[in-house]
Amino acid sequence: MTAAPLLAVDDVHAYYDQSHVVQGVSLTVGAGEIVGLVGRNGAGKTTILKTIMGVVRARRGHIRLAGQDITQMATHDIARAGLTLVPEDRRIFPALTVAENLRVGTLAVGEMRDGRGDGAPPATLEQVFEYFPRLSERLHHTGQHLSGGEQQMLALARGLLAQPRLMLVDELTGGLMPILVESLMEILQRINARGMTVLLVEQDLGVVLDLAHRCYVLDQGRIQFHGTADELRANHAIQQRYLGVS
């Protein structure tokens, strides 16, 4: 028997006012997977993540986490159920130090563990610094004085310290130099190898093809392709039509 997916999005529709941005999206993420969601700018990728987190409310359809319907739950309750969002703009606190930003990520861990009943041990700073040694060197620097790459590291680290079942990562590599992109990709692979499940929205198709087990292609709020990374890599027609790859 095939195990039920950790995350199941079923025929979800979401709007901004009267603009129908997400139009019947269905996707799944299995425990331990990295699943990529790709598409052009404006396709609705970030809106899907916000809808999963309850920031944008689904008007139709259902979202389930480990079988629990979270569609109409408040965002803070969705976080306690085991989802965390690493947003495109990182949302670190610029006036707080690295240490204080990391502390924010741990505040709800006890509540999340109690709510899930899975007894998952909280992540430790030592584990975070194993992934992101640069952060240990910058503990007393405020967020506003970090580079873009360091801010992305901090956003990922803060998400890990929240002990999620699944991380929603929006634009892991946006605006970063190639050497930092490679570093972050390697770190995400290590995090996944230790059991973290990831739904990754990413503009760079090459990053998704190298990281993801499965991929969805989104265009104008609808899923146009679903398959393995290798299947998407080989499907030049889909790449050209929906991703603008020549």
Instruction: Give the DSSP letter string of 99-134.
Output: HHHHHHHHTTHHHHHHHHTS-PPPP-HHHHHHH-HH
Both tokens assigned to 9: 């999005």
Domains along the chain with CATH numbers: 7-243 (3.40.50.300)
Digitized pLDDT (tens) for each residue of the chain, 246 residues in all: 467 899 999 999 999 999 999 999 999 999 999 999 999 999 999 999 999 999 999 999 999 999 999 999 999 999 999 999 999 888 899 999 999 999 887 775 555 444 444 434 456 788 889 999 999 999 999 999 999 999 999 999 999 998 899 999 999 888 888 999 999 999 999 999 989 999 999 989 999 999 999 999 999 999 999 999 999 999 999 999 999 886
pLDDT reported for residue 119: 38
* pLDDT, position 118: 47
Measured distance CA(221)–CA(45) in Å, rounded = 8
From the list 29, 32, 7, 35, the residue with the least C-alpha distance to 208 is: 35
Beta partners for 36?
Answer: 200, 215
Q: What is the pLDDT of residue 104?
A: 85
pLDDT at position 90 is 84
pLDDT at 135: 93
pTM of the model: 0.91
Q: What is the pLDDT of residue 126?
A: 86
Do residues 221 and 189 touch, judged by C-beta distance below 8 A? no
The confidence score (pLDDT) of residue 109 equals: 59
Q: Which two tokens stand for residue 26?
A: 């269905």
Nearest by Cα to 94 from 19, 145, 56, 34: 145
Dihedral angle of Cα 122, 4, 11, 36, to the nearest 10 degrees: 60
